[in-house]
């Protein structure tokens, strides 16, 4: 079995990374397989606490699993999926709201990977990542929008190389709390995982550089709509940038943007907002556009994805200054 390391998995310990993927195994069992040399990184025997880098290739001796009859088998999930484009090399999808990208210890059969397997099973036979077929990048659970799904090893690495070189251009729409002051600008800091809450990321002198350009769509009294153009692909990058500027994304409980912020408003304003907005349980961040070089033809391709109805309603409400 071969597993490729994405940019969002950088600096995670090898044993911790595999514990979240090989969900039928305990961490102690995985650590023993690493020590025994049955799990390698870039064809080398390594220590269990190795910090992973983007592009690392992890190989797992599948015979180790067969003897215990615990090899994880991915299930298909028949769930609605909007396919924006498809050829023999890759597909472009509009990721639905509320779906995590790949299986975890707590969710092994209701993820985007399971949906992809159901929709593209015959085209994913030669994908290089047995645990996350079709995944070369990912979006957070509540983030919707455009994603690339490579079908084979050649396309996977051609697209992965573009992500690594930061030549893929991405555009997001974020709906945030508060009145943004600047019309456009660049946000750059260093991010690392929070020691207090491992689910969160925060600014840190020892973190990895995270850069986002932004351009105001509409400035409102209570909410704003913003276009983001991330130049790096750090986990939760846009969510952290919005939060640390004092304008968290609407609905983002993890970064201070939950709907309890309505309690900060006057009762009349609070009532008006509740009347006009169809509240979505989750954050309002949408990947609206992506452009990259086609892995086969080498020509530039551009794809766009429309937000869901709840997102569009709130976007229009903000842009029309109704709240």
CA–CA separation, 222 and 195 (whole Å): 32
3-state secondary structure of 104: coil
CA–CA separation, 185 and 191 (whole Å): 19
- Written as six digits, the tokens of 271 are 């009532």
- Half-sphere exposure of residue 131, counting CA atoms within 13 Å on the CB side? 26
CA–CA separation, 29 and 119 (whole Å): 33
Sign of the alpha-carbon torsion through 206, 231, 83, 160: negative
Per the CB < 8 A criterion, the answer to whether 223 and 277 are in contact is no
Which among 9, 15, 129, 140 is annotated as catalytic? Answer: 140
- Written as six digits, the tokens of 263 are 């309690």
Per the CB < 8 A criterion, the answer to whether 225 and 173 are in contact is yes
- Written as six digits, the tokens of 242 are 């919005």
State yes or no: is 140 an active-site residue. Answer: yes
CA neighbor of 296 nearest in space, from 150, 123, 165: 150
The helix-helix angle for 14-21 and 27-35 (nearest 10°) equals 130
H helix and E strand count, the chain? 8, 14
CA–CA separation, 57 and 55 (whole Å): 6
Catalytic residues: 140
């Amino acid at each position: 079995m071969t597993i490729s390391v994405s940019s969002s998995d950088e600096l995670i310990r090898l044993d911790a990374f595999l514990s979240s993927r090989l969900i039928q195994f305990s961490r102690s069992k995985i650590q023993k397989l690493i020590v025994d040399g049955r799990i390698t990184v870039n064809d080398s025997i390594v220590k269990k606490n190795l910090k992973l880098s983007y592009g690392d290739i992890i190989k797992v001796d599948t015979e180790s699993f067969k003897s215990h009859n615990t090899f994880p088998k991915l299930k298909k999930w028949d769930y609605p999926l909007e396919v924006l484009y498809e050829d023999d090399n890759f597909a472009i999808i509009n990721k639905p709201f509320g779906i995590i990208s790949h299986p975890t210890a707590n969710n092994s059969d209701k993820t985007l990977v399971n949906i992809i397997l159901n929709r593209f099973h015959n085209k994913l036979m030669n994908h290089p990542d047995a645990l996350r077929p079709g995944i070369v990048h990912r979006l957070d659970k509540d983030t919707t929008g455009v994603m690339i799904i490579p079908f084979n090893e050649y396309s996977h690495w051609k697209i992965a190389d573009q992500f690594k070189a930061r030549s893929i251009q991405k555009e997001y729409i974020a709906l945030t709390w508060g009145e943004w002051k600047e019309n456009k600008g660049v946000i750059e800091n260093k991010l690392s995982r929070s020691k207090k809450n491992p689910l969160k990321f925060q600014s840190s002198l020892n973190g990895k550089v995270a850069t986002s350009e932004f351009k105001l769509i509409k400035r409102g009294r209570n909410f704003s709509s913003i276009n983001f153009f991330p130049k790096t692909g750090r986990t939760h990058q846009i969510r952290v940038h919005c939060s640390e500027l004092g304008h968290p994304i609407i609905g983002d409980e993890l970064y201070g943007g939950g709907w309890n912020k309505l309690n900060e408003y006057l009762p009349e304003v609070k009532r008006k907002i509740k009347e006009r907005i169809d509240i979505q349980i989750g954050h309002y961040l949408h990947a609206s556009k992506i452009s990259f070089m086609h892995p086969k033809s080498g020509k530039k391709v551009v794809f766009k994805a429309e937000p869901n109805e709840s997102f569009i309603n709130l976007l229009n409400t903000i842009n029309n200054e109704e709240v």
